[in-house]
């Protein structure tokens, strides 16, 4: 059964019995059709896992993700349509396709929260444990959904005319186009395939350089470089020209101003300047970045997040008041609207019972390895901060969209408040550092998933879905994605962890063996584990294997925030900067140990403040400062292509966000990220990477030239541009379909 043009049903958009403007969903409330089917939930869970893995890869690289709802919706339409033709089954309904995108969107939001917080464990000197990562992901994801359910009528229904939820609205348009005959999934698949093949040729076969770079002669310490990644170009196209400009500006400040300044003024120093452990005159630009720029960038990112949160304070206050009023009204209204299909939520008693169960799990497990008082305090803070920031995230997502939602700022605020409470209580031991990170992780994921759930419920509100069915599907999607994302995170880290015995990476200082309790066997020998969390004279932060005399013999360098990208046998590995995770570690360390280079952190703080006063988005600029310039440049190129396409086609913003080029860019991101994960996994197999590497069989002139990389990246850029202007992969939608969608603009 497929609905083409159902008669409109009038539903008061104010909800709860108030008389307001009439909203006409695409599928009227009085029509029953297949919706929460096992095939829709299964496909949504699978696509959620795929896009969750690609989003995790992305957040580890650049500290951000992009919405997966539209690509998932497009793929759902195509997959179901193909199965219908091949097997002769009934076509999927628009409500089933909506269930797929609802379940599939959970993976991206959970990936963001996990990637932002959990890698901080290693930066703080701990090992990432699979059970801890999975627990934080699952509890945060489920808590965010449950806390959003009582807010649906306040934000989605009552404020239908004022809160636009841009991504949710765009996704509704895509679903309606698909129902009426249009399909753009080919564009996503082409983007996926191109980026996948490109990434394999570059990272696995090494046919061209991944990071072509050029030092500027006569300008010591200044290097211009490019990470020739279609993944990052796709990100730049989706986030747009303005934000990509701001990010590359931050990268230029770090690479072409701060690094040369440190090289110039510090070149005459005769001793190492903390937190560096060697003379600045002996440092490469990368060494300067690792020793000094990262702390400046982290201070800027923290300040940018806090600024974005303070900017949203009026909305935060009104969101909390609106949420509390709606809960009271829901209790008063009882089940008066239960007969209306489009008003059926999961019952509040079930929501409350589920939330209590999740909090009990937080307090009862080893997620917070503290005493009973610490666990109860941690559970209380999760409830308090969780409800606060889920409410804020839901409201802000409707106002400014998911891409501008300051989840990082909310997480920073949670971490700051948690650490301050712990310090005031005298809880500053190692176990409380883990507890603080776990609380921040759960709240971050809950806030992220709360915003995503709001977008999904807005899509459902527009197409005429049953809220209860959507809420069940996203709970399933969140749980499945949480389990797989834990494995993916550890897999990415283990695959690119380097154990090196090279002297340049080993500290000159010796460890006090008597204080070390952990041992590891490596190459048949037993070593003590020495974890250096903060820089000390003669030793950079890291995990070292030391002998009985305290002499470091090996460095175990993780993939996330590691500094060694080449194994001792010469094979290259992928490293992840994880800017937001580094920030979380910095906050915990700064408050609870007070052993940070605060001068550098404060330089970053005031850079962000200056940018804000100048009218520049401080958080985007700060992320650019933290990331290498090579990462910001492809994002900037993607933004330039977006500006050129929009200028040529003069496409309205709301249509541009679901254009064929955006779908191609989404395919670039998914295909390149999945290829990167598979290539990283392959590195676990001994000598596999070296066998696939054919760069040594190429002429030296080819190996050392940046031009093959530039040409390959240029071809991917050209394809994106041509799709954007309609010269390639033109839409198959008919004028009648386009006109039908245009006619429903006022309803959406």
Higher-confidence position of 584 and 634: 634
Tell whether 42 and 177 lie within a shared domain: yes
Q: Global pTM?
A: 0.76
Q: What is the pLDDT of residue 68?
A: 77
Indicate whether 349 belongs to any domain. Answer: yes
Q: Distance (Å, rounded) from C-alpha 227 to C-alpha 630? A: 5
* Mean pLDDT, the chain, integer: 81
Tell whether 370 and 519 lie within a shared domain: no
Tokens of 680: 């990283």
Neighbours of 726 (CB within 10 A): 15
Is residue 55 over pLDDT 70? yes
Tell whether 459 and 508 lie within a shared domain: no
| pLDDT interval class at 336 (50, 70, 90) | very low
pLDDT in tens, 525-560: 999 999 887 777 778 788 899 999 999 999 998 888
Tell whether 463 and 518 lie within a shared domain: no
Secondary structure of residue 697 in the 3-state scheme: helix
Tell whether 487 and 513 lie within a shared domain: no
Indicate whether 671 belongs to any domain. Answer: no
Q: What is the pLDDT of residue 326?
A: 54
In this structure, are residues 667 and 188 in contact, taking their beta carbons and an 8 Å threshold? Answer: yes
HSE (side-chain half, CA atoms, 13 Å) at 738: 7
Per-residue pLDDT, averaged over 612-630, amounts to: 87
Tokens of 660: 């064929």
Indicate whether 251 belongs to any domain. Answer: no
- Stretch among 49-58, 445-454, 674-683, 705-714 having the lowest mean pLDDT: 674-683
Q: What is the pLDDT of residue 679?
A: 81
Nearest one of 321, 191, 226 to 666, comparing CA atoms? 191
Q: Distance (Å, rounded) from C-alpha 195 to C-alpha 98? A: 27
Indicate whether 313 belongs to any domain. Answer: yes
Q: Distance (Å, rounded) from C-alpha 678 to C-alpha 657? A: 29
Q: What is the pLDDT of residue 69?
A: 81
Sheet holding 498-500, edge to edge: 498-500, 552-557, 542-546, 525-532, 519-522
Tell whether 487 and 343 lie within a shared domain: yes
Tell whether 489 and 463 lie within a shared domain: yes
Q: What is the pLDDT of residue 15?
A: 39
Tokens of 43: 């496909």
Q: What is the pLDDT of residue 58?
A: 81
Give the chain's count of helices (H) and strands (E). Answer: 29, 9
Of all helices (H) and strands (E), which one includes residue 499? strand 498-500
Instruction: Quote the number of domains for the chain.
Output: 2
pLDDT in tens, 248-305: 999 999 999 999 999 999 988 888 887 787 899 989 888 898 888 888 887 887 788 7
Indicate whether 562 belongs to any domain. Answer: no
Tell whether 119 and 153 lie within a shared domain: yes
Higher-confidence position of 5 and 85: 85
* Listed residues 520, 541, 557: the one ending a domain: 557
Dihedral class, residue 685 (left if φ above 0, else alpha if ψ from -120 to 50, else beta): beta
Indicate whether 471 belongs to any domain. Answer: yes
Indicate whether 247 belongs to any domain. Answer: no
In this structure, are residues 578 and 115 in contact, taking their beta carbons and an 8 Å threshold? Answer: yes
Q: Distance (Å, rounded) from C-alpha 165 to C-alpha 653? A: 14
Indicate whether 660 belongs to any domain. Answer: no
% of the chain beyond a pLDDT of 90:
21
Q: What is the residue-wise DSSP string for 411-479?
A: HHHHHHHHHHHHHHTT--SHHHHHHHHHHHHHHHHHHHHHHHHHHHHHHHHHHT--HHHHHHHHHHHHH
Nearest one of 414, 547, 546 to 555, comparing CA atoms? 546
Is residue 371 over pLDDT 80? no
At which residue do the structure tokens 């440190």 appear? 262
Tokens of 353: 């019972």
Q: What is the pLDDT of residue 363?
A: 77
Tell whether 531 and 456 lie within a shared domain: no
Tell whether 393 and 491 lie within a shared domain: yes
pLDDT in tens, 470-519: 999 999 999 999 988 989 898 888 888 889 999 888 988 888 888 888 88
Q: What is the pLDDT of residue 327?
A: 54
Neighbours of 58 (CB within 10 A): 26
Tell whether 387 and 528 lie within a shared domain: no
The CA–CA distances, whole Å, from 718 to 226, 386, 616, 671, 722 equal 17, 44, 30, 18, 6
Tell whether 461 and 502 lie within a shared domain: no
Range of the domain at 525: 498-557
């Amino acid at each position: 059964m497929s609905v083409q043009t159902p008669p409109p049903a009038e539903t008061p958009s104010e909800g709860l019995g108030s008389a307001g403007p009439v909203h006409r969903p695409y599928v009227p409330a009085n029509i029953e059709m297949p919706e929460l089917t096992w095939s829709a939930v299964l496909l949504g869970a699978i696509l959620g896992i795929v896009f969750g893995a690609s989003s995790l890869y992305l957040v580890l690289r650049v500290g951000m993700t992009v919405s997966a709802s539209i690509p998932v919706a497009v793929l759902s339409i195509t997959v179901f349509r193909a199965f219908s033709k091949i097997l002769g089954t009934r076509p999927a309904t628009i409500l089933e396709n909506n269930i797929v995108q609802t379940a599939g969107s959970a993976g991206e939001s959970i990936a963001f929260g996990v990637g932002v917080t959990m890698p901080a464990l290693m930066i703080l000197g701990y090992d990432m444990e699979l059970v801890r990562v999975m627990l934080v992901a699952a509890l945060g994801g489920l808590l965010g959904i449950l806390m959003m359910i009582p807010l649906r009528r306040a934000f989605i229904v009552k404020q239908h005319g004022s809160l636009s939820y841009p991504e949710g609205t765009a996704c509704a348009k895509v679903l309606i186009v698909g129902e009426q005959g249009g399909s753009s999934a080919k564009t996503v698949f082409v983007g996926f395939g191109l980026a996948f093949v490109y990434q394999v040729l570059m990272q696995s076969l090494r046919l061209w350089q991944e990071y072509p770079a050029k030092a500027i002669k006569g300008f010591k310490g200044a290097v211009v470089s490019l990470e020739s990644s279609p993944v990052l170009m796709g990100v730049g196209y989706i986030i747009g020209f303005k934000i990509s400009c701001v990010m590359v500006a931050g990268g230029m400040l770090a690479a072409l101003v701060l690094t040369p300044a440190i090289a110039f003024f510090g070149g005459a120093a005769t001793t190492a300047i903390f937190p560096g452990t060697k003379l600045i005159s002996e440092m490469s630009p990368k060494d300067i970045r690792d020793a000094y720029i990262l702390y400046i960038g982290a201070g800027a990112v923290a300040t940018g997040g806090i600024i974005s949160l303070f900017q949203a304070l009026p909305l935060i206050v009104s969101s909390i008041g609106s949420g509390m009023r709606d809960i009271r009204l829901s209790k008063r209204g009882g089940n008066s609207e239960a007969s209306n299909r489009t008003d059926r939520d999961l019952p509040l008693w079930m929501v409350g019972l589920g939330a209590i169960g999740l909090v009990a799990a937080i307090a009862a497990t080893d997620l917070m390895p503290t005493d009973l008082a610490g666990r109860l305090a941690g559970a209380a803070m999760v409830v308090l901060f969780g409800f606060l920031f889920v409410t804020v995230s839901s409201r802000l997502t409707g106002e400014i969209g998911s891409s501008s939602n300051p989840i990082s700022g909310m997480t920073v605020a949670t971490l700051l408040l948690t650490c301050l409470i712990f310090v005031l209580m005298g809880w500053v031991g190692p176990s409380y550092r883990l507890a603080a990170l776990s609380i921040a992780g759960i709240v971050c994921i809950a806030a992220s998933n709360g915003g995503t759930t709001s977008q999904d419920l807005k899509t459902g509100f527009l197409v005429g879905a049953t809220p209860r069915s959507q809420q069940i599907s996203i709970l399933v999607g969140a749980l499945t994605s949480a389990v797989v994302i834990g494995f993916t995170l550890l897999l990415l880290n283990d695959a690119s962890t380097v154990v090196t015995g090279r002297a340049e990476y080993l500290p000159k200082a010796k460890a006090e063996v008597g204080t070390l309790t952990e041992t590891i066997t490596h190459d048949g020998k037993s070593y003590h584990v020495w974890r250096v969390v903060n820089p000390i004279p003669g030793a950079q932060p890291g995990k070292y294997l030391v002998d009985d005399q305290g002499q470091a013999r090996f460095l175990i360098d993780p993939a996330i925030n590691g500094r060694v990208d080449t194994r001792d046998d010469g094979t290259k590995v992928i490293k992840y900067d994880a800017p937001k995770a580094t920030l979380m570690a910095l906050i915990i360390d700064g408050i609870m140990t007070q052993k940070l280079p605060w001068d550098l952190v404060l330089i970053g703080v005031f850079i962000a403040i200056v940018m804000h006063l100048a009218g520049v988005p401080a958080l985007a600029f700060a992320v650019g400062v933290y990331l290498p310039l090579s990462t910001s440049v492809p994002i900037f190129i993607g933004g330039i292509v977006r500006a050129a396409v929009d200028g040529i086609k003069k496409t309205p913003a709301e249509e541009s966000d679901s254009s064929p080029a955006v779908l191609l860019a989404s395919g670039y991101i998914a295909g390149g990220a999945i290829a990167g994960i598979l290539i990283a996994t392959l590195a676990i197999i001994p000598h596999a990477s070296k066998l696939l590497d054919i760069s040594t069989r190429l002429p030296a002139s080819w190996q050392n030239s940046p031009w093959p990389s530039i040409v390959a990246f240029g071809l991917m850029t050209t394809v994106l541009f041509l799709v954007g202007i309609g010269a390639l992969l033109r839409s198959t939608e008919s004028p009648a379909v386009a006109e039908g969608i245009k006619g429903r603009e006022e309803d959406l």
